[in-house]
Chain A
Amino acid sequence: MLSSIFVHIVDDDKSVCESLGDLLRSVNYQVALYRSAAEFLDIGRGQPDAPSCLVTDIRLPGTSGLELQERLTHLKIMLPVILMTGHGDISMSVKGMKAGAVDFLTKPFRDQDLLDAVAAAIRVDQARRQEAAKIGELQERFSRLTRREREVIAFVTSGFMNKEIASKLSISEVTVKMHRRGATQKLGVSSVAKLARMVEILDIQRLRAEF
């Protein structure tokens, strides 16, 4: 009955925290409650790896909600964030949204507002997870290529003909064809276009990793 979706709630106000948890549990989400940003950073990462989002108040003792959002970005934790505030603070909401918050709720809010925001955040997380899974699979396949195969692929996706590649690598054209075939089989792609797109995604991922 319980879904695998996980919602993290951070609010220093215990009763608010519990009530929000109550509401989310009543629609079958799994919830984890935290009273501070530090507590979330400590325990939150130990939670099961499932589609999830973070609902946090902006005003928190110690690290604020906005600072927590920054910390997550810095730690490359791609968790969608929903911000809450008791003061309809425009400048804070703008800052939060610019930093990538999914939604911004002003207390007191209607139950549906929170549920909608959480649903949207979960969709974002699921999409991200699917993308990540796909990339992960690609990376896994790519890692099975030999060094020669990778070199050949690099030239192919850069638009070189087999003949040119052969002369550049000082191997026969037949050997180039052999490596090329081996690589496309391992990667499971049928056309050069698909191959190019795949390399492109992986390159972006590599850039991101380096960044």
Chain B
Amino acid sequence: MAGAITSVCEGRLAMLIENPTLELETIAQAFLAISQAACYRGVAEAFLKAALEYSRAVRGAVILSAGSELLGNIDTSFLRETAKIFVSYPQQIEFRLPEAIEERVLICQEVVITHNGRINSALADPGGCPCGQDRIQLYLPVVHREQTIGVLYLESESRQKAFTSKCISALSMLALQAALSFKSAQLLDALRETSMWMIRGQTIGRIGSYRWNTRTQLTRASRQCYRIFNIDPDLNPVPFEVFKSRVHPDDFPGLERVLVQAASAKAPLNHEYRVVHEDGTILTVVAVGQFDLGPSGDLELEGIITDVTERKTAEQALVDARADLARAARLASLGELAGAIVHEVKQPMTGIIASASACLRWLAREPADVDEARKSVARIIQSACRANKVVSGLRSLVRDGQLQFARLGVEEVIEGVLLLLKRELERASIKLKTNFDKSIPYIEGDQLQLQQVVLNLVRNAIDAMCIVTEGDRALTISSKFVGGQAIVTIADTGAGIDPASKKHLFEALYTTKPEGLGLGLSICRKIIAAHGGRLWLESTTTFGTVFAFALPLHQSTNISEII
């Protein structure tokens, strides 16, 4: 580029002197060229070119330093390799700032003109210069905010016409512009770097930042946001409808509610929801933000979105592992319990068989030994009683008797259970619908036991739906207040209960599940009965099953037995 710098010089120079308008135009163009340069080198080159053109100098150089410390450390020999930005004409030449001049230019920021001939030229002259002896050199500091950030050096042959005061003031102006452009290039660079860091940070952290205008319903968002929501990056800003289309339909109502609440209270937002991509990928994200008035005066939500899917998956795996462990432990302890029970029952059975056959033998004797036979029968009775006791003990093990009544809300009982089962429902892709009658007064009941009932019924519903692979899975829990009773219905879209199982449904130890104990529904029914209510199978078809239970508001007595 520098090669082209002075190719136009000779012709234009003559014109410049005669035509002040053209001169102004040249300066204006030089300003434009310098200000348009986007990089450090571009600035230096444009500056040098303009300076050479304007001053009819034959050789020149520009040194610019990004950091003031470089110039501060300038040695007498200032080789082009060590300068941050160095351009020269002709190219590939060494520059040496004379010691005597250095302080005046760099520190006092003076414009220095020397008439030292070619010997004192600041530019090394390896190839030999064709020019004559009468040389004149110009050193012009490039200053930005009182700081020397560079030097313009020009060499001219013509003693008479070179470096007039008008020329120097024009060059000083160009230098000012060069300094400004250089600094803005630096600023741009810093900005670009910061932005790169931010993007990289957001990519690594799976975090996107956004700003949503509640009036225009438009959102500006970082690249990572587009990636998280799977939105075309060219769509800028993003309309709310597009954003909404990416939110999991089940999660949108909740998100909307939270947004409205946070907007009206100008409260911080912190909400977790799921995002669905067009290809069906589901991500879990956490949106954090704050509502405030934006520059336009509109209410805006600014914040970040974090993709927590991986964390969620890990958490889920942990929860699953814990549940498996708990299940295994429960089964193991049940197995142990069963072993102990079996042993406890087998003992008296052994006794009964032995004594009974002994009895027969006593009686078969000639004559019959009635006395011994009677003793044998007594032992049989004793053993049978003992076996009965073991079985009774088992029953009390299953549920220890007493209920503790307190005033409680039916809805709270159910919500408490749903909280526990939220993950199970999510994992089974079951949509939950609740329809609570807010007019139900408080009832008297044992919270733990009632939750046990709801838990059991909902678990059964989940199990029933997990078998079905077709169609939507929906769990609907409703409550209503009828005839002084709170009635709760739990409806699933499972495969229904087959007629053969229906009549055994509430029998203890009857189960259709491979791992079931067959205690669930029978215990449920007993708990509800102990509350003075009833539990029944409302309906069952191949499209789903509905269980219902009714509870009275008040308990006639404070303590009652379940079994």
- A110 CB contacts on chain B under 8 angstroms: 353, 357
Q: B331-359 interface mask toward A, CB cutoff 8 Å, 1 = contact, 0 = none?
A: 00000000100110011111111111111
Q: Which residues of B contact A87 (CB under 8 A)?
A: 339, 342-343
Per-position contact with B for A139-157: 1 when CB-CB < 8 Å, else 0? Answer: 0000000000000000000
Inter-subunit contact B376/A22 (CB<8 Å)? yes
- Report whether over half of chain B's contact residues are helix, strand or loop; otherwise say mixed: helix
Answer yes or no: A114 CB below 8 A from chain B CBs: yes
Q: Are B349 and A25 in contact (CB under 8 A)?
A: no
**A18 and B347 alpha carbons, distance in the complex (Å):** 12
The answer to whether B379 touches A107 (Cβ under 8 A) is: no
A70 at the interface (CB under 8 A from B): no
B10 CB–A CB distance under 8 Å:
no
In the assembled complex, the CB of B188 is this many whole angstroms from the nearest CB of chain A, namely: 80
Give Cα A106–Cα B354 distance, bound, in whole angstroms: 13
Of all chain B residues, which has the CB nearest A110? B353
Query: How far does the alpha carbon of A18 sit from the alpha carbon of B375 in the complex, in Å?
Result: 10
User: Least Cβ distance of A83 to chain B in Å?
Assistant: 13
Q: How far apart are B313's CB and chain A's nearest CB, in angstroms?
A: 42
Closest to B357 in A: A111
- Tell whether A26 is near chain B: CB-to-CB under 8 Å: yes
Given contacts A18-B379, A19-B379, A22-B375, contact A86 B354 (CB under 8 A): no
* Alpha-carbon distance A34/B375, docked complex (angstroms): 19
List, in ascending order, chain B residues with CB within 8 A of A26's CB: 357-359, 361-362, 372, 376
Please indicate the chain A residues that have their CB under 8 angstroms from the CB of B355 in the complex.
19, 22-23
The reply to whether A19 and B354 form a contact with Cβ atoms under 8 Å apart is yes
Does residue A15 face the partner (Cβ distance < 8 Å to B)?
Answer: yes
B92 at the interface (CB under 8 A from A): no
Asked whether any CB of chain B lies closer than 8 Å to the CB of A189, the reply is no
Question: Taking the complex as formed, is B382 at the interface, i.e. its CB lies under 8 A from any CB of chain A?
Answer: yes
Per-residue contact bits, chain B 100-135, to A (CB 8 Å; 1 contact, 0 not): 000000000000000000000000000000000000
Chain A contributes a number of interface residues (CB within 8 A of B) equal to: 21
- In chain A, residues 102-117, which have Cβ atoms closer than 8 Å to a Cβ of chain B? 107-112, 114
B356 closest partner in A (C-beta): A111
Query: Which chain A residue has the least Cβ–Cβ distance from B353?
Result: A108
Most chain B beta carbons < 10 A, residue from A20, A86, A112: A86
A193 CB–B CB distance under 8 Å: no
CB nearest neighbor in A for B382:
A15
Residue on A nearest B379 in the bound complex, by CB: A19
Cα-based distance from A120 to B343 in the complex (angstroms): 27
- A32 CA to B359 CA in the complex, in Å? 19
A27, B358: Cα distance in complex, Å: 8
* Residues B354 and A25 in contact, CB atoms below 8 Å apart: no
A137 at interface by CB-CB < 8 Å:
no
Residues of B within 8 A of A86 (CB): 342-343, 346-347, 350
Closest residue of chain B to A27 (Cβ to Cβ) is: B361
A16 CB–B CB distance under 8 Å: yes
Q: Is the CB of B379 within 8 A of A15?
A: yes
Chain B neighbourhood of A25, CB < 8 A: 358, 372
Determine which of A15, A112, A114 lies in contact with B351 in the assembled complex, contact meaning CB atoms within 8 Å.
Answer: A15
- In the complex, whether A67 has a CB less than 8 A from a CB of chain B is no
B202 within 8 A of A: no
Residues of A within 8 A of B350 (CB): 16, 19-20, 84, 86, 107-109
A12 (CB) vs chain B CBs: closest residue: B347
Name the B residues within 8 Å of A23 (CB-CB).
354-355, 357-358, 361
> What separation, in Å, do the CA atoms of A13 and B344 have in the docked complex?
10
Say how far B254's CB is from chain A's closest CB, in angstroms: 54
Q: Using Cβ atoms and an 8 Å threshold, which residues of chain A touch B346?
A: 86, 107-108
Residues of A within 8 A of B (CB): 13, 15-16, 18-20, 22-23, 25-27, 84, 86-87, 107-112, 114
Q: Told that A16-B354, A26-B357, A111-B358 touch, could you supply 16 new A-B pairs with CB distance under 8 A?
A: A16-B350, A19-B350, A19-B354, A22-B359, A23-B354, A23-B361, A26-B362, A86-B343, A87-B339, A87-B342, A87-B343, A107-B349, A108-B352, A109-B353, A111-B353, A111-B356
3 residue pairs, one from A and one from B, having the closest CB atoms: A111-B357, A26-B361, A19-B351
